[in-house]
Structure 1
């Protein structure tokens, strides 16, 4: 098996596992919105630590001013909406 296929398999397993676990967090907190906020907060800290520890080249921030503003926010807003709805719907549909 090649590396991209293995990584895709791991990504799918991680998404399925975290969806169920975080939906359960939403049930226990009685708030899928707070569960989503907590998950995104932990994700932010984890990704920031990985980015800072990474030996990869940092982005060229000098051109950041030219990036359309919707590209800075739309992905995060859509992800928060999708993930939040996911955590809300999973226990109500009998999946978590």
Structure 2
């Protein structure tokens, strides 16, 4: 990965943490985490729809090749993750919840990369990658489960 792409990934991670914080605050102030998640996803959907229409759609033959479950699964998983974060963050705080989210993403991405889930590029796990993941997970648990 080039340094520029790595910075882009770090920036996207920062945006996800800020999005989770905004959604959680909206959920706390409105006393309805599901409403907050729904509003956030609706605004995102409208914005992405406008960008998609402005940039032009792919040919309909290409779109028809995509299985229905794939059209639906990303949105459903996003709704579940967003609503869970809207509920958890006001109770536990951003500094505890987001590291645990990173742990979940790390574990899932290593499993997905190792087995090539969903037709994504397969990347066998090296001992160095497993050691790095273990160190990251230890760091997450040190951040999250402090004895206070």
Flag whether TM exceeds 0.5 (same fold): yes
Which residue in the other structure is 1:22 paired with?
23
Aligned length: 94
Q: Distance in 2 between matches of 1:94 and 1:8?
A: 23
Distance (Å, rounded) in 2 between the aligned partners of 1:68 and 1:58: 17
Higher-RCO chain (CA-CA 8 Å, sequence separation at least 6): 1
Give runs of aligned pairs for residues 84-95 of structure 1, distance below 5 A.
84-95=83-94
Q: Any residues of structure 2 matched to 1:1-96 within 5 Å, and which?
A: 2-54=3-55, 58-95=57-94
After TM superposition, the score normalised by the length of structure 2 is: 0.57
2:63 and 2:48 map into 1 onto residues whose CA distance is: 19
- Gaps (5+ residues) in structure 2? 96-148
- Root-mean-square deviation (Å): 1.9
Greater gyration radius: 2
Moved over 4 A (4+): none
Indicate how the Cα distance of structure 1 residues 69 and 20 shifts in structure 2: closer, same or farther if over 3 A, else same.
Answer: same
* Matches of 2:65 and 2:17, distance apart in 1: 36
TM-score (normalised: structure 1)? 0.84
Shift of 1:80: 0.4
The change in CA–CA distance for 1:3 and 1:94 in structure 2 (over 3 A counts) is closer
